[in-house]
Amino acid sequence: MCASHCGGACLLKVHVRDGIITRIETDDGEEPQLRGCLRGRAYRQRVYAPDRLLYPLKRVGQRGEGRFERISWDEALDTTARELLRVRDTYGPASIILAQMTGDVCSLNNFGAMDRLLSMAGGYTSPWGVTSFQGGVYASLVTYGTWFCSNTRDDLLNSRLIILWGWDPASTVTGPNTCWYLAQAREAGARIICVDPRYTDSAATFAHQWIPIRPGTDTAMLLAMAHVMIREKLHDQAFLSTYTVGFDRFSDYVMGAEDGLPKTPRWAEPITGVPAATIEQLAREYATTRPAALMTGIAPGRTAYGEQYHRAAITLAAMISSQRV
Ligand code: SF4
Protein backbone atom coordinates (compact mmCIF):
# COMPACT_ATOMS: atom_id res chain seq x y z
CA MET A 1 0.00 0.00 0.00
CA CYS A 2 0.93 3.62 -0.36
CA ALA A 3 1.73 5.17 3.01
CA SER A 4 1.63 8.79 1.95
CA HIS A 5 -0.64 9.71 4.84
CA CYS A 6 -3.26 11.37 2.69
CA GLY A 7 -5.92 9.09 4.09
CA GLY A 8 -5.77 6.85 1.06
CA ALA A 9 -3.67 3.69 1.48
CA CYS A 10 -4.06 2.82 -2.20
CA LEU A 11 -2.72 -0.37 -3.67
CA LEU A 12 0.82 -0.25 -5.10
CA LYS A 13 2.44 -3.05 -7.10
CA VAL A 14 6.15 -2.54 -6.71
CA HIS A 15 8.39 -4.25 -9.28
CA VAL A 16 11.81 -5.08 -7.84
CA ARG A 17 14.93 -6.36 -9.60
CA ASP A 18 18.04 -7.23 -7.57
CA GLY A 19 16.62 -5.34 -4.61
CA ILE A 20 16.01 -2.19 -6.64
CA ILE A 21 12.56 -0.80 -7.40
CA THR A 22 12.22 -0.57 -11.15
CA ARG A 23 8.58 0.34 -11.60
CA ILE A 24 5.40 0.98 -9.63
CA GLU A 25 1.93 0.18 -10.86
CA THR A 26 -1.38 0.37 -9.11
CA ASP A 27 -4.66 -1.46 -9.06
CA ASP A 28 -5.89 -2.39 -12.54
CA GLY A 29 -8.42 -5.01 -11.47
CA GLU A 30 -12.15 -4.83 -11.32
CA GLU A 31 -13.90 -1.68 -10.19
CA PRO A 32 -13.96 -0.30 -7.64
CA GLN A 33 -10.20 -0.25 -7.70
CA LEU A 34 -7.93 0.98 -4.94
CA ARG A 35 -6.19 3.01 -7.58
CA GLY A 36 -3.22 5.16 -6.59
CA CYS A 37 -2.63 8.69 -7.75
CA LEU A 38 0.53 10.08 -9.37
CA ARG A 39 2.04 10.85 -5.99
CA GLY A 40 1.75 7.21 -4.96
CA ARG A 41 3.01 5.94 -8.28
CA ALA A 42 6.03 8.24 -8.00
CA TYR A 43 6.99 6.68 -4.67
CA ARG A 44 10.15 5.34 -6.28
CA GLN A 45 11.48 8.89 -6.56
CA ARG A 46 10.97 9.34 -2.86
CA VAL A 47 12.67 6.08 -1.93
CA TYR A 48 15.71 6.98 -4.03
CA ALA A 49 15.72 10.73 -3.41
CA PRO A 50 19.35 11.87 -3.14
CA ASP A 51 18.69 13.86 0.06
CA ARG A 52 16.96 11.02 1.86
CA LEU A 53 18.55 9.94 5.15
CA LEU A 54 19.67 6.33 4.82
CA TYR A 55 21.67 5.81 8.00
CA PRO A 56 21.97 7.34 11.47
CA LEU A 57 23.82 10.63 11.81
CA LYS A 58 25.30 12.15 14.94
CA ARG A 59 25.75 15.87 15.40
CA VAL A 60 29.39 16.80 15.82
CA GLY A 61 29.19 20.60 15.65
CA GLN A 62 27.15 23.12 17.59
CA ARG A 63 23.39 22.86 17.37
CA GLY A 64 22.23 24.55 14.18
CA GLU A 65 25.67 24.35 12.62
CA GLY A 66 24.59 21.46 10.41
CA ARG A 67 27.64 19.24 10.97
CA PHE A 68 26.98 15.53 11.35
CA GLU A 69 28.90 12.30 11.01
CA ARG A 70 27.67 8.88 10.08
CA ILE A 71 27.42 6.33 12.88
CA SER A 72 26.47 2.66 12.93
CA TRP A 73 22.99 1.40 13.73
CA ASP A 74 24.44 -0.28 16.83
CA GLU A 75 25.80 3.02 18.11
CA ALA A 76 22.53 4.78 17.36
CA LEU A 77 20.48 2.15 19.18
CA ASP A 78 22.88 1.98 22.12
CA THR A 79 22.85 5.77 22.47
CA THR A 80 19.07 5.97 22.32
CA ALA A 81 18.56 3.12 24.78
CA ARG A 82 21.16 4.52 27.19
CA GLU A 83 19.58 7.97 27.16
CA LEU A 84 16.05 6.58 27.59
CA LEU A 85 17.18 4.65 30.65
CA ARG A 86 19.13 7.61 32.04
CA VAL A 87 16.14 9.94 31.73
CA ARG A 88 13.75 7.35 33.14
CA ASP A 89 15.98 6.54 36.12
CA THR A 90 16.79 10.18 36.85
CA TYR A 91 13.42 11.87 36.32
CA GLY A 92 10.88 9.02 36.23
CA PRO A 93 8.99 7.43 33.31
CA ALA A 94 6.54 10.35 33.08
CA SER A 95 9.39 12.55 31.89
CA ILE A 96 9.45 10.66 28.58
CA ILE A 97 6.85 11.90 26.13
CA LEU A 98 5.93 9.82 23.12
CA ALA A 99 4.86 12.39 20.54
CA GLN A 100 4.04 10.10 17.67
CA MET A 101 1.06 9.90 15.43
CA THR A 102 0.33 8.08 12.21
CA GLY A 103 2.28 8.04 8.96
CA ASP A 104 4.78 5.79 7.27
CA VAL A 105 6.27 4.51 10.50
CA CYS A 106 2.96 3.21 11.76
CA SER A 107 2.11 1.67 8.41
CA LEU A 108 5.34 -0.27 8.39
CA ASN A 109 5.86 -1.10 12.03
CA ASN A 110 2.47 -0.76 13.70
CA PHE A 111 1.26 2.25 15.59
CA GLY A 112 1.66 0.55 18.94
CA ALA A 113 5.24 -0.71 18.70
CA MET A 114 6.77 2.27 20.46
CA ASP A 115 3.97 2.42 23.06
CA ARG A 116 4.63 -1.21 23.85
CA LEU A 117 8.36 -0.71 24.16
CA LEU A 118 8.02 2.27 26.50
CA SER A 119 5.28 0.57 28.51
CA MET A 120 7.56 -2.39 29.10
CA ALA A 121 10.29 0.03 30.16
CA GLY A 122 8.14 1.51 32.89
CA GLY A 123 5.68 3.86 31.19
CA TYR A 124 5.66 7.24 29.49
CA THR A 125 3.58 10.35 28.93
CA SER A 126 1.38 10.45 25.86
CA PRO A 127 -0.10 13.58 24.29
CA TRP A 128 -3.79 14.27 24.71
CA GLY A 129 -6.18 13.90 21.81
CA VAL A 130 -5.61 13.39 18.12
CA THR A 131 -3.19 15.83 16.53
CA SER A 132 -4.91 15.56 13.16
CA PHE A 133 -8.55 16.23 13.97
CA GLN A 134 -9.33 16.47 17.65
CA GLY A 135 -11.93 19.16 16.94
CA GLY A 136 -13.79 16.71 14.74
CA VAL A 137 -13.42 13.84 17.20
CA TYR A 138 -14.77 15.93 20.06
CA ALA A 139 -17.68 17.28 18.03
CA SER A 140 -18.64 13.83 16.77
CA LEU A 141 -18.49 12.26 20.22
CA VAL A 142 -20.60 14.92 21.94
CA THR A 143 -23.08 15.13 19.08
CA TYR A 144 -23.36 11.67 17.58
CA GLY A 145 -21.83 9.65 20.42
CA THR A 146 -19.39 8.10 17.97
CA TRP A 147 -16.93 9.30 15.40
CA PHE A 148 -17.88 6.62 12.91
CA CYS A 149 -20.75 8.56 11.52
CA SER A 150 -20.45 9.34 7.83
CA ASN A 151 -21.72 7.66 4.70
CA THR A 152 -19.46 5.64 2.45
CA ARG A 153 -17.97 7.42 -0.54
CA ASP A 154 -20.07 5.54 -3.09
CA ASP A 155 -23.11 7.25 -1.57
CA LEU A 156 -21.89 10.48 -3.21
CA LEU A 157 -23.42 9.10 -6.38
CA ASN A 158 -26.83 9.70 -4.81
CA SER A 159 -26.13 13.37 -4.14
CA ARG A 160 -27.36 16.23 -6.24
CA LEU A 161 -25.34 18.78 -4.31
CA ILE A 162 -21.91 18.17 -2.78
CA ILE A 163 -20.24 20.83 -0.67
CA LEU A 164 -16.52 20.26 -0.07
CA TRP A 165 -15.88 22.50 2.92
CA GLY A 166 -12.23 22.99 3.79
CA TRP A 167 -11.40 19.72 2.12
CA ASP A 168 -9.22 19.08 -0.91
CA PRO A 169 -9.65 15.37 -1.65
CA ALA A 170 -7.48 15.69 -4.77
CA SER A 171 -4.52 15.87 -2.39
CA THR A 172 -6.01 14.46 0.83
CA VAL A 173 -8.30 11.72 -0.38
CA THR A 174 -9.33 10.42 3.05
CA GLY A 175 -10.26 7.09 1.54
CA PRO A 176 -9.25 5.64 -1.84
CA ASN A 177 -11.74 6.30 -4.63
CA THR A 178 -13.02 9.60 -3.25
CA CYS A 179 -12.08 11.47 -6.42
CA TRP A 180 -13.41 8.67 -8.59
CA TYR A 181 -16.79 8.93 -6.93
CA LEU A 182 -16.70 12.73 -7.09
CA ALA A 183 -16.00 12.59 -10.81
CA GLN A 184 -18.86 10.16 -11.34
CA ALA A 185 -21.23 12.24 -9.22
CA ARG A 186 -20.38 15.31 -11.27
CA GLU A 187 -20.92 13.42 -14.51
CA ALA A 188 -24.28 12.28 -13.15
CA GLY A 189 -25.29 15.91 -12.67
CA ALA A 190 -24.40 16.68 -9.06
CA ARG A 191 -23.43 20.28 -8.42
CA ILE A 192 -20.16 20.61 -6.50
CA ILE A 193 -19.20 23.65 -4.44
CA CYS A 194 -15.86 24.20 -2.67
CA VAL A 195 -15.68 26.47 0.36
CA ASP A 196 -11.97 26.95 0.91
CA PRO A 197 -9.47 29.77 1.34
CA ARG A 198 -7.34 28.18 -1.37
CA TYR A 199 -8.23 27.49 -4.96
CA THR A 200 -7.39 23.84 -4.49
CA ASP A 201 -6.86 21.11 -7.04
CA SER A 202 -10.30 19.81 -6.09
CA ALA A 203 -11.86 23.22 -6.67
CA ALA A 204 -10.13 23.44 -10.04
CA THR A 205 -11.10 19.91 -11.05
CA PHE A 206 -14.55 19.31 -9.63
CA ALA A 207 -16.20 22.51 -8.47
CA HIS A 208 -18.92 24.42 -10.28
CA GLN A 209 -18.44 27.16 -7.71
CA TRP A 210 -15.55 28.12 -5.46
CA ILE A 211 -16.30 30.21 -2.40
CA PRO A 212 -13.12 31.58 -0.83
CA ILE A 213 -13.35 32.21 2.89
CA ARG A 214 -11.04 33.81 5.44
CA PRO A 215 -9.26 30.98 7.34
CA GLY A 216 -10.70 30.17 10.74
CA THR A 217 -14.08 31.85 10.18
CA ASP A 218 -16.01 28.84 8.90
CA THR A 219 -18.27 28.59 11.95
CA ALA A 220 -19.54 32.13 11.39
CA MET A 221 -20.55 31.29 7.83
CA LEU A 222 -22.27 28.07 8.89
CA LEU A 223 -24.20 29.97 11.56
CA ALA A 224 -25.26 32.57 9.00
CA MET A 225 -26.50 29.78 6.74
CA ALA A 226 -28.46 28.40 9.68
CA HIS A 227 -29.95 31.87 10.19
CA VAL A 228 -31.23 31.91 6.61
CA MET A 229 -32.65 28.41 6.94
CA ILE A 230 -34.44 29.18 10.20
CA ARG A 231 -35.68 32.60 9.06
CA GLU A 232 -37.08 31.18 5.83
CA LYS A 233 -38.34 28.03 7.55
CA LEU A 234 -36.28 25.78 5.32
CA HIS A 235 -35.31 23.50 8.19
CA ASP A 236 -37.12 20.34 9.22
CA GLN A 237 -38.45 21.16 12.67
CA ALA A 238 -40.30 17.85 12.96
CA PHE A 239 -37.08 15.90 12.49
CA LEU A 240 -35.19 18.14 14.92
CA SER A 241 -37.93 17.85 17.56
CA THR A 242 -38.12 14.07 17.21
CA TYR A 243 -34.49 13.09 16.94
CA THR A 244 -32.34 15.83 18.46
CA VAL A 245 -32.02 17.87 21.63
CA GLY A 246 -30.78 21.41 22.00
CA PHE A 247 -31.90 22.92 18.72
CA ASP A 248 -34.02 25.53 20.50
CA ARG A 249 -30.93 26.91 22.25
CA PHE A 250 -28.94 26.79 19.03
CA SER A 251 -31.75 28.64 17.28
CA ASP A 252 -31.91 31.27 20.05
CA TYR A 253 -28.20 31.89 19.66
CA VAL A 254 -28.33 32.04 15.86
CA MET A 255 -31.37 34.34 15.76
CA GLY A 256 -29.97 36.63 18.46
CA ALA A 257 -32.55 35.87 21.15
CA GLU A 258 -29.74 34.84 23.48
CA ASP A 259 -27.29 37.69 23.06
CA GLY A 260 -29.13 40.27 20.97
CA LEU A 261 -26.89 39.63 17.97
CA PRO A 262 -28.57 37.83 15.06
CA LYS A 263 -25.98 35.79 13.12
CA THR A 264 -27.17 37.03 9.76
CA PRO A 265 -25.24 36.77 6.50
CA ARG A 266 -24.55 40.52 6.85
CA TRP A 267 -23.07 39.83 10.29
CA ALA A 268 -20.90 37.07 8.83
CA GLU A 269 -19.74 38.98 5.76
CA PRO A 270 -17.01 41.13 7.39
CA ILE A 271 -15.90 38.18 9.53
CA THR A 272 -15.61 35.63 6.75
CA GLY A 273 -14.96 37.80 3.72
CA VAL A 274 -17.80 35.97 1.96
CA PRO A 275 -20.50 38.27 0.50
CA ALA A 276 -23.83 38.02 2.33
CA ALA A 277 -25.59 37.23 -0.95
CA THR A 278 -23.29 34.24 -1.50
CA ILE A 279 -24.02 32.92 1.99
CA GLU A 280 -27.77 33.31 1.42
CA GLN A 281 -27.57 31.53 -1.92
CA LEU A 282 -25.57 28.63 -0.50
CA ALA A 283 -27.94 28.27 2.47
CA ARG A 284 -30.98 28.09 0.20
CA GLU A 285 -29.30 25.73 -2.22
CA TYR A 286 -28.18 23.41 0.57
CA ALA A 287 -31.59 23.45 2.25
CA THR A 288 -33.62 22.84 -0.88
CA THR A 289 -31.47 20.45 -2.92
CA ARG A 290 -32.04 16.85 -1.98
CA PRO A 291 -30.05 14.81 -1.33
CA ALA A 292 -27.16 17.09 -0.42
CA ALA A 293 -23.81 16.15 1.08
CA LEU A 294 -21.97 18.55 3.35
CA MET A 295 -18.45 17.13 3.37
CA THR A 296 -16.35 18.83 6.01
CA GLY A 297 -12.57 18.60 5.97
CA ILE A 298 -10.56 18.54 9.15
CA ALA A 299 -8.43 21.64 8.53
CA PRO A 300 -11.03 24.25 9.60
CA GLY A 301 -11.33 22.37 12.90
CA ARG A 302 -7.62 22.75 13.56
CA THR A 303 -8.15 26.18 15.04
CA ALA A 304 -9.02 27.61 18.43
CA TYR A 305 -12.56 26.40 19.16
CA GLY A 306 -12.37 24.38 15.95
CA GLU A 307 -14.82 21.86 17.32
CA GLN A 308 -17.56 24.47 16.91
CA TYR A 309 -17.07 24.36 13.15
CA HIS A 310 -17.77 20.63 13.15
CA ARG A 311 -20.70 21.00 15.54
CA ALA A 312 -22.21 23.73 13.38
CA ALA A 313 -21.86 21.60 10.24
CA ILE A 314 -23.44 18.60 11.98
CA THR A 315 -26.32 20.81 13.09
CA LEU A 316 -26.83 22.13 9.57
CA ALA A 317 -26.94 18.55 8.27
CA ALA A 318 -29.53 17.66 10.93
CA MET A 319 -31.65 20.66 9.96
CA ILE A 320 -32.39 19.11 6.59
CA SER A 321 -31.77 15.52 7.55
CA SER A 322 -35.14 13.91 7.04
CA GLN A 323 -35.53 15.60 3.68
CA ARG A 324 -32.90 13.33 2.18
CA VAL A 325 -33.87 10.20 0.33
S1 SF4 B 1 -4.21 8.90 -3.09
FE2 SF4 B 1 -2.80 8.99 -1.34
S3 SF4 B 1 -2.55 6.83 -0.68
FE4 SF4 B 1 -3.40 6.82 -2.77
S5 SF4 B 1 -1.62 6.70 -4.10
FE6 SF4 B 1 -2.12 8.88 -3.89
S7 SF4 B 1 -0.81 9.58 -2.21
FE8 SF4 B 1 -0.87 7.33 -2.11
Q: What is the 3-state secondary structure (H, E, C) of 58-92?
A: EECCCCCCCCEEECCHHHHHHHHHHHHHHHHHHHC
Give the Å distance between the CA of 8 and the centre of ligand 1: 5
Q: Is the pLDDT of residue 209 over 70?
A: yes
Q: Is the pLDDT of residue 28 over 90?
A: yes
127 occurs within a structural domain? no
Quick one: which atom of ligand 1 is closest to the CA of 43?
Answer: 8
Same domain as 271, residue 156: yes
Give the Å distance between the CA of 261 and the centre of ligand 1: 45
Same domain as 157, residue 83: no
Quick one: which atom of ligand 1 is closest to the CA of 26?
Answer: 5
pLDDT digit string, tens, across residues 272-304: 999 999 999 999 999 999 899 999 999 999 999
**Would you place residue 23 in the very low, low, confident or very high pLDDT band (cuts 50, 70, 90)?**
very high
The percent of residues above 70 in pLDDT, for the chain, comes to 96
The least confident of 23-27, 103-107, 308-312 is 103-107
Answer whether the bond into residue 197 is a cis peptide, omega within 30°: no
By three-state DSSP, how is residue 274 classified? coil
Same domain as 147, residue 275: yes
Same domain as 138, residue 67: no
Nearest CA owner, ligand 1 atom 6: 37
Same domain as 206, residue 267: yes
Give the Å distance between the CA of 185 and the centre of ligand 1: 21
pLDDT digit string, tens, across residues 31-69: 888 999 999 999 999 999 999 999 999 999 999 999 999
User: Which residues is 193 bridged to in the sheet?
Assistant: 163, 209
**Number of compact structural domains in the chain:** 3
Give the Å distance between the CA of 28 and the centre of ligand 1: 15
Quick one: which atom of ligand 1 is closest to the CA of 173?
Answer: 1
CATH number at residue 4: 2.20.25
pLDDT of 208: 98
Cα 113 to Cα 88, 109, 116, 117, 170, distances in angstroms: 19, 7, 5, 6, 31
The greatest distance separating any two alpha carbons of the chain, rounded to the nearest whole angstrom, comes to 73
The least confident of 95-99, 181-185, 270-274 is 95-99
**Would you place residue 106 in the very low, low, confident or very high pLDDT band (cuts 50, 70, 90)?**
low
Give the Å distance between the CA of 321 and the centre of ligand 1: 32
pLDDT of 3: 82
**Would you place residue 17 in the very low, low, confident or very high pLDDT band (cuts 50, 70, 90)?**
very high
Give the Å distance between the CA of 38 and the centre of ligand 1: 8
Q: Is the pLDDT of residue 325 over 60?
A: no
Ligand 1, pocket-test mutation among 1, 5, 10, 45, most atoms within 8 A of CB: 10
Give the Å distance between the CA of 71 and the centre of ligand 1: 34
Give the Å distance between the CA of 295 and the centre of ligand 1: 19
Number of continuous H segments (helices) and E segments (strands) in the chain: 14, 8
Same domain as 166, residue 271: yes
> Which among 267, 163, 290 is positioned nearest to 221, based on CA atoms?
267
Cα 59 to Cα 66, 85, 195, distances in angstroms: 8, 21, 45
Nearest CA owner, ligand 1 atom 7: 40
Instruction: Pick the last residue of a domain from 18, 35, 52.
Output: 52
pLDDT of 113: 83
- Domain of residue 107 covers 58-120
Nearest CA owner, ligand 1 atom 8: 40
- CB contact at 8 A, 175 and 167: no
Task: Identify the residues whose C-beta falls under 6 Å from ligand 1.
Answer: 2, 4, 6, 8-10, 36-37, 39-40, 173, 176
